[in-house]
Amino acid sequence: MRLFMNVVALLGLIAFPTFAFAQDLTLKRVMLSSGGLGYFEYEASIDGDATLKLTVSLGQVDDVLKSLVVYDDKGGVGGLSLPGREPLAQAFKDLPFDQSSLGSPAELLSTLKGAQITVGGSRSLSGRVVSVEEDPLVLPDNKGAMKRTRVTLYTDRGLQQFILEEAENLQFADPALREKVGQALVAIQGNRAKDARTIDLTMRGQGKRTVRVAYIVEAPVWKASYRLTLGADPAAARSGLQGWAIVENMSGQDWKDVELTLVSGRPVAFHQALYNAYYVTRPEVPVEIAGRLMPGVDRGGVTVDQQRPKAPPMPAPAPYRAQQERSVASTAMAPPPPPPGMAAAAEQIEASDAATQVIFKFPRAVSVDNGRTLSIPIVDRQVPAQRLALYQADTAARNPLAAIRLTNDGESGLPPGIITLYERDKAAYVSYVGDARLSAFPAGETRILAYALDEKIVIERDVTQTDRVATGTIANGALRLSRIIRQTTTYRVRGPAKEPRQLIVVQRRLPGWTLTKPEEKGVELSEGNYRIPFQLPGGDQTQAFEVVQEQTQQQEIRLVESAAEQIRVYAQAREFDAKTREALTRVLQLQQATAEAQRKVQQVDAERQAIVQEQARLRENLARVPANSDLQRRYLATLDKQETELEALAKRRAEADKAVEAARDALRNYVSQLG
């Protein structure tokens, strides 16, 4: 029995489109940025016109369309083309069948019912497809069943049937239908790599030449890590620094002998979905019919004494025996080898500073298979390093951190990364002492790297705050005060017993305050904090250091409205000059005179209120006693007497009011003449 193996065998001759001669591009240069981008440059040797093929992952197409650049000194770019984002969906969009119909010959014939076909073999038939049905054949001796497909055709002699699996060949009679099936098969073949797209780049020109094609796409961030080996002598001025770059090849292709460059910087980068198809939504308008009008719509983000941080002077470098200084970017001085036991980098990496980034270029071609990681030394030299103790109360309240002040005396910056610190004793035995974090490190700058807790130093910290009046002047009827608020932080430090140490105290800078102790010379300002150096001599003794910050506040007190108790305090303040104190004393006297006049007004008001209350009682009693009685006559006589007293009190109140106003005028007139 002949078995029907695939669709192509049954469809007969299928016309496949022919492609122009195309050349593959060879990856030559890779530049990786710490900003998460990769620059990939390819080369191809061409002669005259040519088509270059470049295959990239689907996720990179947007970036390639955004950044692809071509360099051709003797020609030009004719154009760029690639399949759409959904090439299969577009290929089947106008076909009378979908992709699932090509899963088997039976599914295709079932989808194309009514199509004219010709069947060849032991039995030749020609007709239109009417039905496609399963017709299993039971094998003898209970050996199971064989799956068959029975196809019914409408022919010139009526309905006829054949078994699809027994047909030797099958062909659609309509040439246009054969062409559509062939195009669909070609589209499926070209879309086997679902996550990749092949770009055809047409070049126009004459003669033999080398063409370069480059683009920028998303790439894993390359990382830097460092190793710093401290010598046995704590006073040594230099230590060995080695830096490594960690690179991952996740580009989807192997890197074979490429020129590798690493860039440390923070470029501004964007992503735009250029590979997506966008359509403009158009407004729906009704079909115009006779008699109806529809007019258009017209919708016409130092050292303290100089306001810039500055590192304290470094001790003079101690000579290294049998050591040389290795520079990352310069060979002007003969570079010495690192201390014994620390292998030097096999080759020197070329490093240079650009305007916004540091560039590391490898001297040899590099090969990295796709999916693998590469780590290569990029720095290997001696650098100035000073040991010290760094006290950060928020990190450790009782002990400072062991730290290193590192200076970049090279000609190029260093990217950020983790530093692993080792220490060598006098017997050349090396031990691990801690890790530190290095921020971006431009040439000529210093960094303090904390790597462990220094339990040889104990620190107690107290904070107090005082508020005092400094000066006072009188002007425009007001006492203008200058108050000084002082915050004092006292550090009591017990230093190491056997060796001297420099202590750096990190003290929060209070906004708007001034550092008055210690002197600003030698003090650094970093990220809103003072870094204040103190020297600890050897010996188990306790020293006290004070850090004082002050703020001057201005206050204005209106003398006429202020309370006498407040004026009395300032009249006795020794911070004011004698003239100001005398003026305040006179103001206090005038205030007291005003207060005495107001007291008399209040006394008159109290007497009047007492009489009014007594009259109310008498009038209430009069309503209850008999008319013309002795008690009534007595109440009436008392009321008459009280009315006379009220008249006298009214005169006294008027005189008291005049006295208050006179006292106030005297106070206002005096205050207005001051200052």
For the stretch 455-501, pLDDT in tens is 999 999 999 999 988 888 888 888 888 999 999 999 999 988 778 88
Q: What is the mean pLDDT of residues 587-601?
A: 90
Task: Report d(CA 31, CA 41) in Å as an integer.
Answer: 9
User: Is pLDDT of 35 > 50?
Assistant: yes
* Same-domain status, 596 and 573: yes
pTM of the entire structure? Answer: 0.63
Domain that holds residue 552: 458-558
pLDDT at 26: 92
531 assigned to some structural domain: yes
User: Is pLDDT of 86 > 70?
Assistant: no
Tell which of 419, 450, 481 closes a domain: 450
Query: Cis omega (within 30 of 0) on the bond before 518?
Result: yes
* Same-domain status, 250 and 399: yes
* Same-domain status, 427 and 364: yes
Q: What is the pLDDT of residues 321-341, one digit of tens each?
A: 333 333 333 333 334 444 444
Q: Which helix (H) or strand (E) holds 590?
A: helix 578-622
Query: What contacts 24+ positions apart, CB below 8 Å, involve 71-74?
Result: 71/211, 71/212, 71/213, 71/214, 72/203, 72/205, 72/209, 72/211, 72/212, 73/209, 74/205, 74/206, 74/207, 74/209
* Same-domain status, 151 and 258: no
Give residue 661's pLDDT band: very low, low, confident or very high (50, 70, 90). Answer: very high
281 assigned to some structural domain: no
Q: What is the pLDDT of residues 166-193, one digit of tens each?
A: 888 888 888 888 888 887 777 776 666 5
* Same-domain status, 233 and 170: no
* Same-domain status, 70 and 164: yes
* Same-domain status, 397 and 377: yes
pLDDT at 301: 26
Give me the percent of the chain exceeding a pLDDT of 70. 84
pLDDT at 513: 94
Least confident of 260-269, 315-324, 439-448, 559-568: 315-324
User: Is pLDDT of 65 > 60?
Assistant: yes
* Same-domain status, 407 and 532: no
User: Is pLDDT of 18 > 70?
Assistant: no
pLDDT at 23: 61
* Same-domain status, 157 and 227: no
Give residue 7's pLDDT band: very low, low, confident or very high (50, 70, 90). Answer: very low
92 assigned to some structural domain: yes
Task: Report d(CA 532, CA 508) in Å as an integer.
Answer: 11
- Nearest in space to 147 (alpha carbons), one of 129, 166, 127, 160: 166
pLDDT at 289: 53
Structure tokens at 270: 């964007």
* Same-domain status, 110 and 196: yes
472 assigned to some structural domain: yes
Give how many domains the chain has, as a whole number: 4
Tell which of 558, 590, 613 closes a domain: 558
* Same-domain status, 571 and 520: no
Who wins on pLDDT, 86 or 156?
A: 156
* Same-domain status, 183 and 311: no
113 assigned to some structural domain: yes
108 assigned to some structural domain: yes
299 assigned to some structural domain: no
User: Is pLDDT of 369 > 90?
Assistant: yes
325 assigned to some structural domain: no
List beta partners, residue 131: 152
Least confident of 288-297, 355-364, 388-397: 288-297
**What's the mean per-residue pLDDT of the chain?**
81
pLDDT at 82: 80
Least confident of 95-99, 141-145, 309-313, 360-364: 309-313
- What is the separation of C-alpha 275 from the centre of its chain, rounded to a whole number of angstroms? 28
User: Is pLDDT of 415 > 50?
Assistant: yes
Tell which of 450, 471, 493 closes a domain: 450
